[in-house]
Structure 1
Amino acid sequence: MTVTIKDIAKRAGVSYSTVSRALNNRPEVNEKTRREIQKLAEEMGYRPNAIARGLVTQKTGTLGLVIPDITNPFFPEVARGAEEEADRRGYNVFLCNTAWDLEKEQRYLEALVSKRVDGIILSSASEDSEYVARLARSGPPLILINRVLKQVNTNYVVIDNIRGAYMVVEHLLDLGHRRIAYIGGPEKLEPSRERFEGYRLALAARGVDIDPLLVRYGKFKKEDGYRNACVLLEDPALRPTAIFAANDILALGVIQAARDLGLQVPEQLSVVGFDDIPFVSYGEIRLTTVAQPKYAMGEMAAKILLDEIQNASKQQKKHVVLQPELVIRNSSGPPLQ
């Protein structure tokens, strides 16, 4: 049975308001009474009602974190950064995984608002959400991570995707590759578009024309990397000497397809990813990739959001663009002559 303030008051023989003041360390209660009531509350197993307290303080001490794919190791690292910063500041985090489902994303956002979270960190599955735009105007404080949304005026922390992709293609060109394919995620999503733009700009800077047949899109899933790589690699006349995959999960699918077709990486095909998720640096994979500061992205997003929550006055929206780093490992090398 849940112990209430009234139960403590009855046992202590004092008023309800005296117990409330003692438990909240209010100065109206003398030190001896406060210690006795707090000790009694602990003995009785009393736990504060966060909902009731939130109605009084207009704060619940909670944040919502909404991500599109918990199975992608990129997002748990972002979540860890956000959760640890929130914990340092005395906040709890509700984690919601939308599985790239826009309807599910909206349901989660509505649930978080109804639970009166103090703020929301969102990596949206959408590129243009009217609901998120309304939420940014009239809901709790909001910050976007990993991608920005059209017509949504709010804080964000993102990576310089164009710069990261440019570095990948520049590296492959320096190795001597000219037939470089691009396998992206959904074409409508900003990270996929921006990484293609970096790919395009790097090729253009060296006077290399894009072959439209070498550009493929799908979901940010291993099976889509595998499927698109098979299309590119099965026809020797079409086959590229290098593939830039827009994330590491896609790159793992590309490497699997190459192996199943009897191609050696990097001797017969160079493969480069994006994200630097934990296990791509181990074992046989040793993937060349672009490292994103994943933990820092989550940590910084939580810090900006909590600063806004704890500073009631409206402040200028913060737009942070983190810098990528090219990590060269064993999956890229010069093309066969």
Structure 2
Amino acid sequence: MTVTIKDIAKKAGVSYATVSRALNNRPEVNEKTRREIQKLAEEMGYKPNALARGLVTKETKTLGLIIPDITNPFFPEVARGVEEAAAQAGYNVFLCNTNWLAAKEETYLEVLEEKRVDGLILASVAKDCDVVKRVIKRGTPLVLVNRVLKDVDAHYVVIDNNKGSFQVVEHLLGLGHRIIGFIGGLAHVEATRERLQGYRLALASAGIPVDEDLIRLGTFKKESGYENTISLMKDCKKKPTAIFAANDVLALGVIQAVQDCGLQVPEDVAVIGFDDIPFAAYAEVSLTTVAQPKYTMGEMAAKILIEEIKEGPSKEKKHVVLQPKLVIRKSSGKKR
């Protein structure tokens, strides 16, 4: 049976208010009474009601974290950075997974606000930003991670996608490739647009016309990478000698599709991904990819959010753009 403040008050022979003040170390209670009540509460197995305390303090010591894909190792690493930074500051984290569904994201935003979380960290998948705007307008502190939302005035922590993609294509061009395919995720997501933009810019800088037939967009799942690569290899008049996948999970699908077409990676088709999730370094995969500081991304997002919770809304939003690093492994091959 749950022990309440009223139970302690009855046993101690004091008022409910006196027990509440004693347990919260309020100065209105003398030291002797405070110690006696705190000792009695411990003996009775009393545990504070976090919700009730939150109603009084206006702070629940909880944060909401909404990510799109718990199965993609990129996001758990971001979540680990959030959770550990939050724990150090005395906060707990509610983790929600949308599975790339905007409707689930909207639901989670509403649910977390109803649970009175102190702030939100969001890796958004939505096309429509109105829900996020309403959350901010209601005064809930919010930090975007891994994606910037157009026309949304919020803190964010992201990677320089454009630069990372430019490095990928530049590397492939340096190896002698001229027909380079691009396999991307959801068209409306900022990461897809920016990584595609970097791809285009690198080709243009090398004086190579962009062949739109070499570009395929879908989801960020392995199956999409596989299906779009099969399409690319079957339908294109000029077969790509290299493929840039917009994340490492897509790259797995690309590699499988290339092999199912009777070709070898990297001898026939070089493959490069983006994110540098753990499996990329496995000897069986040895995937050349763009490393993101995933843990740091989550850690910084949590620290920015907690600072706003404690200090109040800042006049200028913090916009953190982390730098990518190309990690070269076997999948990109040698100079042709």
Tell me the secondary structure at the aligned position of residue 243 of structure 2.
strand
**Contiguous gaps of at least 5 residues in structure 1:** none
Q: Contact between 1:267 and 1:335, CA under 8 Å: does it hold in 2?
A: no
Tell me the secondary structure at the aligned position of residue 320 of structure 2.
strand
CA distance in 2, matches of 1:303, 1:263: 47
Match of 2:260 in 1: 260
Aligned residue type for 1:55: L
Give structure 1 regions of 4+ aligned residues with deviation exceeding 4 angstroms: none
Tell me the secondary structure at the aligned position of residue 266 of structure 1.
coil
| Alignment of 1:205 onto 2:205 | yes
Pairwise CA distance, 1:312: 2.5
CA distance in 2, matches of 1:13, 1:100: 56
TM-score, normalised via structure 2 length: 0.97
Pairwise CA distance, 1:190: 0.9
1:27-79 per-position Cα deviation (integer Å, ceiling 9, x unaligned): 23233322222122122111111111111111111111011111111111111
Pairwise CA distance, 1:237: 4.1
Tell me the secondary structure at the aligned position of residue 302 of structure 1.
helix
| Alignment of 1:229 onto 2:229 | yes
1:225-267 per-position Cα deviation (integer Å, ceiling 9, x unaligned): 0011111224684320000000000000001111222211111
CA distance in 1, matches of 2:315, 2:41: 40
- What does 1:18-37 align with in structure 2 at a 5 Å threshold? 18-37=18-37
307-316 vs 248-257, greater mean Cα deviation: 307-316
TM-score, normalised via structure 1 length: 0.96
Q: Using a 3 Å threshold, how does the CA distance of structure 1 residues 255 and 152 change in structure 2: closer, same or farther? A: same
Aligned residue type for 2:172: L
Tell me the secondary structure at the aligned position of residue 331 of structure 1.
helix
| Alignment of 1:176 onto 2:182 | no
| Alignment of 1:5 onto 2:13 | no
Among all aligned residue pairs of Structure 1 and Structure 2, give the percentage whose two residues are the same amino acid.
68
Match of 1:88 in 2: 88
**Contiguous gaps of at least 5 residues in structure 2:** none
Q: Contact between 1:120 and 1:140, CA under 8 Å: does it hold in 2?
A: yes
CA distance in 2, matches of 1:10, 1:230: 74
Q: Contact between 1:113 and 1:139, CA under 8 Å: does it hold in 2?
A: no
- What does 1:25-174 align with in structure 2 at a 5 Å threshold? 25-174=25-174
CA distance in 1, matches of 2:246, 2:61: 37
Q: Contact between 1:176 and 1:334, CA under 8 Å: does it hold in 2?
A: no
Aligned residue type for 2:171: H
CA distance in 2, matches of 1:307, 1:252: 39
Q: How many residues align?
A: 336
CA distance in 1, matches of 2:29, 2:139: 38
Pairwise CA distance, 1:127: 3.5
CA distance in 1, matches of 2:151, 2:69: 24
Tell me the secondary structure at the aligned position of residue 152 of structure 1.
coil
Match of 2:248 in 1: 248
What's the C-alpha RMSD, in Å, of the aligned pairs?
1.4
Q: Contact between 2:67 and 2:75, CA under 8 Å: does it hold in 1?
A: yes
CA distance in 2, matches of 1:12, 1:149: 55
Aligned residue type for 1:186: L
1:149-192 per-position Cα deviation (integer Å, ceiling 9, x unaligned): 12211111111000000000000001111001000001121100
CA distance in 1, matches of 2:103, 2:315: 31
CA distance in 2, matches of 1:195, 1:305: 27
Match of 2:219 in 1: 219
